[in-house]
Amino acid sequence: MRIIKTSMLKAFWQAHCEAKASLGTWVVQTTAAQWRNFVEVRRTFPNADRVAVASGRSVVVFNIAHNRYRLIAAVHHNTRIVYTLMILTHKEYDRGDWKEQL
């Protein structure tokens, strides 16, 4: 898979050093993947969730750093592109207002 906006990930782990190892692992595993559907995403990341957002589209939520953070991404299986959209703390994620922004 090709990841769009890895710069956002790097900026995040510079500000939150405890997320660096988990985000680095996520990048390596995602880049190596050839996901054709969400089931295959779950084989790589068993805790990933698919969530519907206000736009009517679905995003995939990944747990980062033992569930301290949530990486929200749009996974386009047909083009093999993963767009990183947001990284939130667990508390920010639980508020749910991020769903209205997407």
- Predicted confidence (pLDDT) per residue in 23-63, tens digit: 999 999 999 999 999 999 999 999 999 999 999 999 999 99
Query: Which one, of 84, 64, 72, lies nearest residue 16 by Cα?
Result: 64
Decide if pLDDT at 83 tops 90: yes
CA dihedral (9, 20, 16, 45) in degrees, to 10, reads: 70
CA distance 72 to 94: 13
Task: Give φ, ψ of 66 to 5 degrees.
Answer: 55, 45
With pLDDT > 70 as the criterion, what percentage of the chain qualifies? 100
Instruction: Report the pLDDT value the prediction gives residue 90, as an integer from 0 to 100.
Output: 87
The domain segmentation of the chain, as residue ranges, is 2-91
Confidence class for position 10, pLDDT limits 50, 70, 90: very high
DSSP secondary-structure letter at 6?
H
Rounded mean pLDDT, 63-73: 95
**What pLDDT score was predicted for residue 20?**
95
Mean pLDDT of the chain: 95
List the one residue out of 42, 63, 64, 60 whose CA is nearest residue 51: 60
Residue 12 has pLDDT above 90, yes or no: yes
With 0-12 CB in 10 A as exposed, 13-18 as middle and 19+ as buried, what is 44? middle
